[in-house]
Amino acid sequence: MRELKITPIKNGTVIDHIGNGLALEVLRIIGVRELDRDSTVSVALHVRSQKIGWKDIVKVENMELSPRNVNAIALIAPTATIAIIRDFKVQEKRAVDLPDRIGGVLKCPNPSCITNQHEPVESEFEVARRRPVVLRCTYCERLVDEFLPNLA
Amino acid sequence: MGLKGRDLISIRDLSREEIEEILKASRRMIPYAEGQRAGHQLDDRLLVMAFFEPSTRTRLSFETAAQRLGARCVTIADPTASSMRKGESLHDTVRMLSSYGDAIILRHPNEGSGRLAAMASDKPVINAGDGAGQHPSQTLLDLATMQESFGTLSGLRVVLLGDLKYGRTVHSLAHALAVFGAELVLSSPPSLGLPEEVREHLDQMGAKVTEVDQLHRAVRDADVLYVTRIQKERFGDETEYAKVAGSYRIDNAVLAGGKSRMIVMHPLPRTGEIAAEVDGTPHAAYFRQAFLGVPVRMALLSLILTGKAV
């Protein structure tokens, strides 16, 4: 019997080198409910990795990620790589990279921040420190180093 | 460089050179603030004072500054009377106000409202306090007070005393003092210490920061004693509050252990942190500090609206 942990995909995105245990959060970011009806999502948890010890992998058929989703993944899974697959071939592969400003990905954890008051604005953060990542709210200047509970 | 047409939302918006320019302009504004000279720098200008939270000192000192220089003001001083009660967003309110006046001075209960207003407005916005957030003109007048007393900011030993956790003015002031190379001494009840991220930021700036827990030791080598209000609502029970507040009370006996040129500052209003007997001593700088709010705001308004001070 052939052992096949995850099947190759024809078209779509492979998110590899996700930190151990974070695949479900990545799925939450991608928003599985909004997927194309013909998409299959494969998830591998706790896979041996030479680079980071143990990792998770997510493969999504017929979907390419929006820049906003890539930014959110960069925050919660900074070791992840993203490969775009077209016709079974890797078209493009890159590590996630955090831009200097990130809009709309996180809610400001300060309940009194103006971005949490029904104003017609999107939250925005700037990178205050890269390793480990600390963000500063552009509006209220609150520093944020916990991202999972604050995903928008 | 150049402050004309700029917003002022956070003290971080200003470089050291820009702060120096404002402080220099503030000194030249003193005769105008005292009424010895009539100012015309802002003749024909109309300023919108949008105060969505109660404030006496800040609003009146901005209005005084504007009117001493010839500007007129329209004022929202009572948030309950405004359209915000009808559910209009701050964004829309500010956008509308910016089409009426030449600049907006904003006080609002939510942190980050100044930045939002600056984005919504095509006229300059000056943040006059956004919730527990920023209040840059307060920081500038604090610096002006120290500079007037000592001629310099660099190398001053400034004790920040009291509530360093929630005190709005303290975090911006600590940043600005670090920019100028002042030495910071922190003295607070354990539950009201400077937030870790602010401390870390100061360390990153290379600031010299020490902590002293006993008041008399903090006072000993201080040039400036910056006293803040310890608020009752931060404490669970009254006795604990009374104990802590009592141990940070400044009176003449405490000051006797300090340098003769040391000044005592307070953003006011005070509620018992400084005994009335201190008022008559040369140490008391808090009323001068409140006055300097006027020339500092004159300088700000003039530089932002016209690009020059006098």
Which of B90, B133, B134 has the CB atom closest to A119's CB atom? B90
Given an 8 Å threshold on Cβ–Cβ distance, is A117 in contact with B90?
A: yes
- Res. B82: pLDDT tops 70: no
Between residues B87 and B65, the one the model is more confident about: B65
Q: Which residue of A has its CA nearest to B88?
A: A119
Q: What predicted TM-score, i.e. pTM, was given to this entire model?
A: 0.89
Pairing relation of β-strands B46-51 and A143-144? unpaired
CA torsion sign, B49 to B51 to B56 to B62?
Answer: negative
Q: Which residues of B sit within 8 Å Cβ distance of A?
A: 10, 12, 89-92, 108-113, 115-116, 119, 130-134, 197
- Assess contact for A137 and A128: CB atoms under 8 A: no
Best CA proximity match to B152, nearest among B185, B198, B175, B183: B183
State mean pLDDT over B64-85: 86
- Res. B81: pLDDT tops 70: no
Burial class (CB in 10 A: 0-12, 13-18, 19+), A53: exposed
Both tokens assigned to B259: 């340098």
- pLDDT tens per residue across span A7-35: 788 999 999 999 999 999 999 898 877 77
pLDDT of residue A31: 83
B139 CB-side CA count, 13 A? 31
The pLDDT confidence band at residue B1, using thresholds 50, 70 and 90, is low
- pLDDT tens per residue across span A97-144: 899 999 999 999 999 999 999 999 999 999 988 888 899 999 998 889
Interface test with A, best of B84, B115, B200, B204 (most A CBs within 10 A): B115
Instruction: Give the three-class secondary structure for A112.
Output: coil
Lowest mean pLDDT among A1-10, A68-77, A111-120, B42-51: A1-10
Look over chain B and give the mean of its residue pLDDT values, rounded to a whole number: 93
Q: How far is A124 from chain B (nearest CA, A)?
A: 11
- pLDDT tens per residue across span A37-61: 778 889 999 999 988 899 999 999 9
- pLDDT tens per residue across span B142-201: 999 999 999 999 999 999 999 898 876 798 999 999 999 999 999 998 888 998 878 988
Write out chain A residues lying below 8 Å of B134, CB-based.
141
Q: Give kind and range of the element (H or E) at residue B299.
A: helix B286-306
b/e per residue B209-241 (b: at least 16 CB within 10 A)? beebeebeebbbebbbbbbbbbeeeebeeeeeb
The pLDDT confidence band at residue B86, using thresholds 50, 70 and 90, is confident
Bridge partners (DSSP) of residue A14 are A59, A83
Both tokens assigned to B261: 């040129």
Q: Which residue of A has its CA nearest to B172?
A: A141
Which of A110, A139, A143 has the CB atom closest to B115's CB atom? A139
The rounded Cα A115 to chain-centroid distance in angstroms is 22
Write out chain A residues lying below 8 Å of B131, CB-based.
112, 140
Sorted by where each starts, the structural domains of chain A and their CATH numbers stand as: 12-95 (3.30.70.140), 101-150 (2.30.30.20)
Given an 8 Å threshold on Cβ–Cβ distance, is B112 in contact with A143?
A: no
Pairing relation of β-strands A134-137 and B208-211? unpaired
Report d(CA B26, CA B16) in Å as an integer. Answer: 15
The pLDDT confidence band at residue B205, using thresholds 50, 70 and 90, is very high
Q: Give kind and range of the element (H or E) at residue A71.
A: helix A67-76
Given an 8 Å threshold on Cβ–Cβ distance, is B110 in contact with A108?
A: no
Sorted by where each starts, the structural domains of chain B and their CATH numbers stand as: 11-134+293-306 (3.40.50.1370), 137-289 (3.40.50.1370)
User: Does B57 participate in catalysis according to the annotation?
Assistant: yes
**ipTM for the whole predicted complex goes beyond 0.85:** yes
Given an 8 Å threshold on Cβ–Cβ distance, is A112 in contact with B132?
A: yes
Q: How far is B10 from chain A (nearest CA, A)?
A: 9
Interface test with B, best of A101, A141, A142, A146 (most B CBs within 10 A): A141
Which position among B80, B85, B86, B239 bears the catalytic label? B86
Q: Which residue of B has its CA nearest to A141?
A: B112
Given an 8 Å threshold on Cβ–Cβ distance, is A112 in contact with B131?
A: yes
- Assess contact for B184 and B211: CB atoms under 8 A: no
Report d(CA B272, CA B117) in Å as an integer. Answer: 36
Given an 8 Å threshold on Cβ–Cβ distance, is B130 in contact with A114?
A: yes
Given an 8 Å threshold on Cβ–Cβ distance, is B119 in contact with A121?
A: yes
